[in-house]
């Protein structure tokens, strides 16, 4: 812990540091990046007070990031470092798009100001606080820096972090430059990406085949965005509807969004999403025609059930407000002060309540599809927000494919990017103040985390992956999070190309890299952080008596002799179900022979309860436990910067570490086995998709030699692979005028310049 | 070696086909069988068979309850069966079936339902049997059973007043409270032999020897051999070397209940110690005791690293001061030179009992969905857990980082003091984090130092309103669970071990938690007349083992004691709710991976041998050499 500090004068720079050149290794420019301005002899604080551990360096503002380049290579303790390197960002860098608020302070004069774009600053700042969208709070001090350059840097940061237009986002410069250079579009797109992008009809076609949706077809009426501005060029509709019908229908839907197919259950039920019908005269007729088309596409012609999302789920303003309250209690309020009321504060933030609401609603939809064997239509006013969360969650619960890394990315691509979730507006990249900002995607990732927390072996990826994915929203380079819909992306790229007179080749538009090209950000080694050892270990194929047996597929019925009858906690023993899960459904849904419970239970709840009383098949249906006691705060995401909450040599990473070593050993053995088999070609087993590369292990932690004693790296903490050091500098705010300022709800809520500069 | 030995003996027992007692032991405990069903269900058949191949896993196939059948323990006898009983389940509604009462358990079954329903609990768990309301129009009487394990059960049955036949619930009343009914507890009947005698787990001399005691500053004394210095203390004590036995008696006169400061733990390097005692009998007049002051000075002097002594008084300062009225109090810093007194603000047994009562209201039977967290907060349960852990953390930190000896006490030194000393020792010493070390810790700091289990739990006692009852030990286990959550690889035992301890805290099947002190246990001859819980546990340690465990030498654990990390132990408090499934145990997955690794290793070796055989002139060191395997096998 960084304890009390002597007065600041003690930390005069030593001459050695003054003349030391900037450490070049920690600063580089990406393609299209330019330095705007910089200031030397800046101190980055690592604690609430000045400390001898503070770092000295140069603060640089580029058109992409705020960079802090230390004057010397500090011999940081492992604990102080991130355990991964981002290729686009240095250790201390903050992407401008991730800046929430910039506050300048002059302590001596007792002044502070929230800096907006194009503003003036009447005092020279002694301190700069950068509040980040990812919850970091970074603090720089300028006691030794030149006042003029200090001012310039602060103003530049404020200005460049609030671009007036989307084309000013760094991604355009980056992509433009990449286009010119040899490494067009970054790192060889197309190759080795196991993620379906759903920007072409073949991806949809494959998805139809994969899910066995026989009476559905890919339609191309929206090619060139001719019908709906927010739908993708290709999507899937009931086979019984002709293009002509679709065009005719589209007029009546909000955003001209023709109902769009998401997914098919193997029982034939389909999941469809739909915007509201704007034309009241057409409503009934249209409704009927759409429903009957969907019914026709169902092999058993079962009914279509509707799920009204607007009515049962919180709206985007409520979600944003919950997020702001959560941020307040997690990082803004002093740690000890809200300790006593932590649980009730957490409750009143409502964040977990909303997480639960989305999960619960998704379970209900799952019940309709799986339990009632009906197709489901998700209805939302615009079909671009809540439906993204619900449809993705439903598919994650029902389809194990989406719990693999590639599958999950395809799911985001299909239900978020292509379906026209307004990432640009919801991320508020343009720092507007129009109430459009909403962390809906983060909420979705939190829901996924809850599932993952309950069923850790069911997912190929880790919570680190989810965290890094959400952090990538603030790196404005990836097409994934930069636009409001595919058309928006296409138009903006075209316009930019024209304005920069970039000659476009066969591809009509500049192609922004999507976030799934993880090579843009991370080395192969660091990408291993994404892989769950439980999943990887189990997916290893075993050659058993000459036949290939995949451990991943365990769908067959389990032998009763080995497991015995499962029983409910209350002593209820259940007849072991020897039928496969899906077939037995009808049986399970017959009315409960016992008297009803005192607490009335919905059919979906009963369905869920029944399911929970059985052993889980991780490759089958996965339902979350929805008791509020089972939903937890996603600590890695929300508390990773909080030094007081960091468990040294503890946290779930300790289990992750152990599991990784074991999974790595298994992989090594597997490779050995394959090599041996390779010696006799006849017996080489067909490699199964998803089996590891021979060369590179998929585990971040590698098993050592047999002689190694079991040891654990000292740097493992509950924040792994992140580090809170220097990333959450709450000021010692008690008694300072700053405290008043910070405790005001205005911070984080609005970017408005607080009325005046002085208090 | 030891492990494989016990596995063998169990294996042979298993092969001698279905030892009924082992079966029924497992079936006596609903939790246990439920849990193992869950555990087993998480194992894929492949892994399970691989597991038996390894020979290390003790798969007790026979541990399943033959459906709906009551399997009696040795010397368990059916007292009565009533066939027309309705169990009013808070989750499933009314269920009609038959209820059997034995001298050990209550067994309700309903077989004509599909799926069958069985409720099986030791009567020791029951804290109160009460008749609810009057006889209904149908001639039915309702009975409520309030349980010590966060359950309430409600039954109704037809019963004619004045008839010769007694209600079956009168029998429940009789066997649930053997102490009040002058009956023997079932622990004295049960005589199941186990391969290991758990009563031998803790040998004080061996444990002190492990700690490097006696040494030049500390000596082992037999002054309390006949329990006449302090009747609630163990016979073997460790005291400063320069305090003679005669003086101990004078110190005892100044400490509540004669509980003098004695050593619990010594730091292997710094010699800083954790010592425990009861409050000094200062009283309103501020009495002093030269011997006591000298005694504490000796404790401080025994540690050359520090010239200070920290006295941790577990109580809130107000309570400590109020004790002066009753002759007690706390050390004044005037009287005790170089000692610093710190209050840890942990509340008394009555506050804790009330907190658990509120917690039960909040979690059983159903959880109110909309206000879960604030309801939980209003019970203050986690807040109390936090204060206890925080106190233990301060003690551990003082000893480890401050290299300073500490004295811990509360009022009598058998509740909060036991919590603090044992938790601090758990943080400081990795030995106590092993399966056996933890048993030693419980035997030492709780049982031998006279935590009054009989009074706090009220074994077999009808008087459920007894103000001496309090969930002190439950809190300790909860704190341990919190630590296992923060350090998933630091403990050799798993959650199921902790739950099993709590279940048998109430079951009265084992003698371990009976009586209030070592002296009483010897008087009752418990080691001869009853079975130790550790006999049972150590005979199937595999089930209680955390496979993720790594033994880090000298690794001190500093948990983060913050509400951000403390959680309600849902696997214990909410386990009765059918909508709850225990969190997928990582352990189980880890075991599967271990099995997989073993299988692959075998295959690689097989192939290597095959290759070596085919290449007839292969270098000899290659043939069948297990060195070809790059990994160690440690299952």
The domains of chain B are located at 72-176, 198-587
CA distance, residue B618 to nearest chain A CA (Å): 15
Average pLDDT score over residue span A251-279: 95
The pLDDT score that the predictor gives to residue B11 is 34
Average pLDDT score over residue span B611-624: 56
Fold classification of B72-176 (topology level): PH-domain like (2.30.29)
The pLDDT score that the predictor gives to residue B93 is 87
Would you call B37 and A564 a contact, using CB atoms and an 8 Å cutoff? Answer: yes
B576 annotated as a binding-site residue: no
Mapping DSSP to helix (H, G, I), strand (E, B) and coil, where does residue A290 land? helix
Chain A residue numbers touching B87 (CB-CB < 8 A): none
Pick from B371, B562, B586: CB nearest A644: B562
Residue B584's pLDDT band (cuts 50, 70, 90): low
The pLDDT score that the predictor gives to residue A78 is 56
Judged by average pLDDT, the poorest of A17-26, A165-174, A441-450 is A17-26
- Residue A172's closest CA among A614, A489, A559, A629? A489
Mapping DSSP to helix (H, G, I), strand (E, B) and coil, where does residue A247 land? helix
B410 annotated as a binding-site residue: yes
Residue A504's pLDDT band (cuts 50, 70, 90): low
Residue B464's pLDDT band (cuts 50, 70, 90): very high
Q: Tell whether B574 is within 8 A of chain A (Cβ).
A: yes
The complex scores an ipTM of 0.86
Q: What tokens appear for B206 in the block?
A: 């061996």
CA distance, residue A711 to nearest chain B CA (Å): 7
Q: How many residues does chain B have?
A: 635
CB proximity under 8 Å: B 250-289 to A: none
User: Which residue(s) pair with A70 in the sheet?
Assistant: A57
Average pLDDT score over residue span B421-426: 98
Pick from A340, A567, A612: CB nearest B33: A567
Instruction: Please say whether the beta carbons of A324 and A348 come within 8 A.
Output: no
Q: Is the pLDDT of residue A746 over 50?
A: no
- Residue B412's closest CA among B315, B507, B500? B315
DSSP A708-751: SPP---TT-BTTTT---TTTB-----TTSHHHHHHHSTTTTT--
Nearest CA in chain A to B574: A629
The pLDDT score that the predictor gives to residue B616 is 58
Classify residue A718 as left (phi > 0), alpha (psi -120 to 50) or beta.
alpha
A487 or B555, higher pLDDT: A487
B29, B44, B577: best to mutate for the A interface, most A CBs within 10 A:
B44
The H-assigned helical ranges of B29-96 are 30-42, 45-54
- How does pLDDT run across A83-105, given as a tens digit for each residue? 888 999 988 899 999 999 999 99
> Which residues of B does the annotation mark as catalytic?
410
- How does pLDDT run across B228-248, given as a tens digit for each residue? 999 999 999 999 999 999 999
Would you call B548 and A644 a contact, using CB atoms and an 8 Å cutoff? Answer: no
CA distance, residue B175 to nearest chain A CA (Å): 21
Q: Which helix (H) or strand (E) holds A560?
A: helix A560-563
B324 annotated as a binding-site residue: yes
Walk me through the domains of chain A, giving residue ranges and CATH numbers: 35-173 (2.30.29.30), 201-530 (no CATH)
Peptide bond into A319 cis (omega under 30): no
B412 annotated as a binding-site residue: yes
Nearest CA in chain B to A553: B44
The pLDDT score that the predictor gives to residue A698 is 85
Q: Is the pLDDT of residue A329 over 80?
A: yes
* DSSP 8-state assignment for residue B442: I
Cα–Cα distance, A419 to B67 (Å, whole number)? 52
Question: Which whole-number Å values give the CA distances from B536 to A45, A49, A122, A428, B525, in the listed order?
Answer: 56, 55, 77, 61, 19
- Residue A50's closest CA among A738, A737, A742, A726? A726
A759 or B373, higher pLDDT: B373
- The whole-chain average pLDDT of chain B stands at 85
Q: Is the pLDDT of residue B315 over 50?
A: yes
Mean pLDDT is highest, among A467-476, A618-627, B618-627, for: A467-476
Mapping DSSP to helix (H, G, I), strand (E, B) and coil, where does residue A55 land? strand
- How does pLDDT run across A438-481, given as a tens digit for each residue? 999 999 999 999 999 999 999 999 999 999 999 999 999 999 99
B338 annotated as a binding-site residue: no
Average pLDDT score over residue span A214-238: 96
Q: Is the pLDDT of residue A496 over 70?
A: yes
Residue A599's pLDDT band (cuts 50, 70, 90): low
- How does pLDDT run across B173-212, given as a tens digit for each residue? 999 999 999 999 999 999 899 999 999 999 999 999 999 9
Average pLDDT score over residue span B513-535: 97
The pLDDT score that the predictor gives to residue A13 is 36
Would you call A655 and B586 a contact, using CB atoms and an 8 Å cutoff? Answer: yes
Nearest CA in chain A to B629: A669
Would you call A572 and B548 a contact, using CB atoms and an 8 Å cutoff? Answer: no
């Amino acid at each position: 812990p960084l304890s009390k500090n002597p007065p600041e004068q003690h930390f005069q720079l030593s001459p050695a540091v003054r003349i030391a050149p900037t450490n070049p290794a920690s600063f580089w420019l990406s393609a299209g990046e330019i330095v705007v301005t910089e200031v030397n002899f800046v101190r980055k604080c690592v604690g609430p007070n000045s400390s001898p551990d503070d770092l000295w360096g140069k603060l640089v503002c580029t058109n992409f990031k705020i960079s802090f380049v230390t004057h010397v290579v500090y011999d940081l303790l492992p604990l102080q470092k991130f355990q991964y390197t981002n290729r686009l960002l240095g250790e201390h860098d903050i992407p401008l798009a991730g800046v929430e608020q910039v506050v300048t302070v002059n302590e001596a004069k007792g002044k502070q100001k929230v800096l907006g774009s194009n503003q003036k600053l009447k005092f020279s700042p002694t301190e700069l606080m950068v509040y980040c969208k990812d919850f970091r709070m970074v603090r720089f001090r300028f006691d030794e820096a030149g006042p003029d350059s200090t001012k310039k840097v602060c103003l530049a940061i404020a200005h460049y972090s609030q671009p007036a237009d989307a084309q000013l986002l760094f991604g355009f410069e980056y992509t433009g430059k990449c286009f010119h250079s040899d490494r067009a579009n970054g790192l060889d797109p197309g190759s080795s990406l196991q993620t379906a992008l759903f920007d072409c009809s073949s991806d949809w076609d494959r998805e139809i085949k994969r899910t066995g949706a026989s009476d559905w077809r890919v339609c191309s009426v929206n090619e060139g965005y001719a019908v709906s501005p927010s739908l993708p060029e290709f999507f899937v509709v009931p086979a019984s509807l002709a293009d002509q019908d679709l065009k005719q229908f589209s007029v009546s839907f909000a955003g001209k969004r023709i109902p769009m197919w998401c997914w098919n259950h193997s029982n034939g039920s389909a999941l469809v999403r739909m915007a509201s019908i704007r034309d009241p005269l057409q409503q009934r007729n249209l409704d009927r025609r759409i429903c009957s088309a969907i019914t026709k596409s169902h092999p058993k012609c079962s009914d279509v059930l509707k799920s009204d999302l607007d009515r049962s789920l919180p709206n985007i303003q409520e979600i944003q407000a919950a997020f702001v309250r959560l941020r307040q209690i997690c990082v803004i309020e002093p740690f000890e002060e809200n300790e006593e009321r932590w649980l009730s504060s957490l409750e009143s933030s409502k964040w977990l309540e909303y997480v639960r609401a989305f999960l619960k609603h998704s379970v209900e939809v799952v019940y309709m599809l799986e339990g009632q064997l009906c197709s489901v239509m998700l209805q939302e006013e615009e079909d671009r927000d809540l439906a993204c969360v619900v449809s993705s969650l439903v598919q994650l619960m029902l389809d194990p494919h989406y719990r693999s890394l590639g599958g999950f990315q395809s799911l985001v691509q299909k239900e978020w990017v292509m379906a026209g979730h307004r990432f640009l507006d919801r991320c508020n990249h343009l720092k507007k103040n129009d109430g459009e900002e909403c962390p809906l995607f983060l909420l979705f990732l939190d829901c996924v985390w809850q599932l993952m927390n309950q069923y850790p072996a069911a997912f190929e990826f880790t919570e680190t992956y989810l965290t890094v994915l959400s952090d990538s929203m603030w790196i404005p380079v990836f097409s994934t999070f930069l636009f409001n819909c595919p058309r928006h992306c296409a138009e903006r790229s075209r316009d930019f190309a024209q304005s920069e007179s970039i000659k476009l080749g066969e591809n009509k538009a500049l192609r922004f890299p999507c976030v799934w090209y993880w090579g843009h950000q991370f080395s192969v080694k660091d990408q291993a952080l994404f892989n769950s050892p439980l999943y990887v270990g189990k997916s290893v194929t075993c050659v058993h008596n000459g036949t290939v047996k995949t451990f991943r597929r365990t769908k067959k019925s389990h032998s009763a002799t080995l497991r015995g009858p499962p029983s409910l906690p209350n002593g209820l023993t259940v007849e072991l179900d020897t039928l496969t899960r899906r077939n037995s459904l009808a049986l399970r849904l017959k009315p409960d022979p016992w008297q009803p419970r005192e607490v009335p239970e919905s059919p979906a709840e009963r369905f869920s309860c029944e399911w929970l009383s059985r052993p889980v098949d991780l490759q089958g249906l996965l339902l979350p436990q929805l008791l509020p006691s089972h939903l937890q705060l996603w600590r890695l995401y929300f508390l990773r910067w909080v030094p007081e909450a960091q468990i040294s040599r503890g946290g779930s990473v300790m289990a992750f570490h152990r599991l990784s070593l074991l999974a790595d050993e298994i992989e090594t053995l597997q490779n050995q086995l394959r090599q041996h088999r390779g010696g006799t070609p006849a017996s080489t087993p067909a490699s199964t998709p998803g089996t590891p590369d021979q060369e590179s292990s998929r585990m971040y932690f590698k098993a050592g030699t047999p002689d190694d004693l079991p040891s654990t790296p000292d740097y493992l903490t509950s924040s792994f692979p992140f580090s809170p050091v220097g990333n959450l500098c709450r000021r010692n705010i008690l008694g300072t005028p700053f405290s008043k300022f910070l405790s005001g709800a205005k911070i984080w809520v609005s970017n408005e310049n607080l009325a005046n500069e002085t208090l | 070696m030891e492990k494989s030995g016990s596995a063998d003996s169990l294996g042979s027992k298993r092969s001698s086909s279905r030892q009924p007692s082992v079966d029924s032991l497992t079936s006596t405990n609903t939790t246990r069988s439920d849990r193992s069903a869950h555990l087993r269900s998480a194992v894929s058949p492949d892994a399970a068979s691989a597991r038996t191949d390894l020979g290390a896993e003790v798969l007790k196939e026979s541990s399943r309850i033959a459906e709906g059948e009551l399997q009696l323990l040795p010397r368990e006898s059916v007292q009565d069966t009533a066939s027309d009983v309705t169990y009013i389940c808070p989750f499933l509604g009314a269920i009609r079936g038959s209820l059997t009462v034995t001298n050990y358990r209550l067994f309700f079954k309903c077989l004509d339902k599909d799926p069958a329903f069985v409720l099986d609990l030791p009567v020791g768990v029951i804290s109160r049997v009460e008749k609810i309301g009057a006889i209904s129009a149908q001639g039915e009487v309702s009975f409520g059973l309030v349980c010590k394990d966060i359950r309430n059960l409600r039954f109704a049955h037809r019963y004619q007043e004045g008839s010769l036949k007694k209600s079956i619930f009168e029998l429940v009343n009789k066997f649930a409270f053997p102490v009040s009914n002058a009956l023997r507890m079932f622990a004295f009947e049960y005589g199941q032999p186990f391969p290991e005698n758990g009563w031998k787990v803790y040998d004080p001399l061996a444990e002190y020897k492990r700690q490097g005691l006696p040494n030049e500053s500390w000596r082992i004394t037999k002054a309390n051999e006949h329990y006449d210095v302090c009747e609630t203390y163990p016979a073997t004590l460790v005291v400063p070397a320069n305090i003679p036995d005669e003086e101990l008696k004078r110190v005892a006169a100044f400490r509540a209940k004669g509980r003098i400061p004695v050593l619990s733990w010594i730091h292997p390097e710094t010699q800083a110690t954790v010592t425990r005692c009861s409050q000094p009998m200062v009283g309103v007049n501020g009495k002093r005791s030269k011997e006591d002051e000298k005694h504490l000075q000796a404790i401080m002097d025994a540690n050359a690293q520090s010239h200070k002594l920290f006295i941790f008084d577990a109580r809130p300062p107000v309570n400590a001061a109020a004790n002066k009225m009753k002759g007690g109090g706390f050390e004044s810093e005037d009287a005790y030179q170089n000692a610093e007194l710190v209050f840890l603000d942990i509340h008394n047994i009555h506050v804790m009992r009330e907190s658990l009562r509120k917690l039960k209201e909040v979690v059983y039977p159903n959880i109110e969905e909309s206000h879960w967290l604030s309801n939980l907060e209003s019970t203050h349960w986690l807040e109390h857990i936090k204060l206890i852990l925080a106190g233990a953390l301060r003690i551990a930190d003082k000893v480890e980082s401050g290299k300073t000896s500490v004295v811990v006490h509360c009022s009598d030194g058998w509740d909060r003091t036991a919590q603090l000393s044992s938790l601090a020792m758990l943080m400081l010493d990795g030995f106590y984090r092993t399966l056996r070390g933890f048993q030693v810790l419980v035997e030492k700091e709780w049982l031998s130092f006279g935590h009054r289990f009989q009074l706090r739990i009220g074994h077999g006692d009808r008087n459920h309103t007894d103000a001496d009852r309090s969930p002190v030990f439950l809190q300790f286990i909860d704190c341990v669970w919190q630590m296992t959550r923060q350090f998933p690889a630091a403990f050799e035992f798993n959650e199921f071990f902790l739950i099993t301890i709590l279940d048998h805290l109430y079951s009265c099947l084992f003698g371990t938690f009976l009586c209030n002190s070592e002296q009483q246990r010897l008087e009752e001859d418990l080691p001869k007349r009853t079975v130790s819980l550790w006999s049972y546990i150590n005979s199937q340690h595999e089930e209680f083992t955390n496979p993720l465990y790594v033994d880090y030498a000298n690794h001190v654990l500093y948990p983060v004691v913050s509400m951000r990390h403390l959680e309600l132990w849902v696997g214990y408090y909410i386990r009765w709710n059918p909508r709850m499934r225990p969190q997928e145990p990582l352990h189980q997955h880890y075991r599967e991976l271990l099995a997989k690794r073993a299988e692959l290793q075998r295959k690689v070796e097989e192939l290597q041998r095959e290759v070596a055989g085919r290449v007839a002139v292969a270098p000899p060191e290659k043939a069948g050499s297990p060195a070809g395997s790059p990994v160690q096998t440690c299952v």
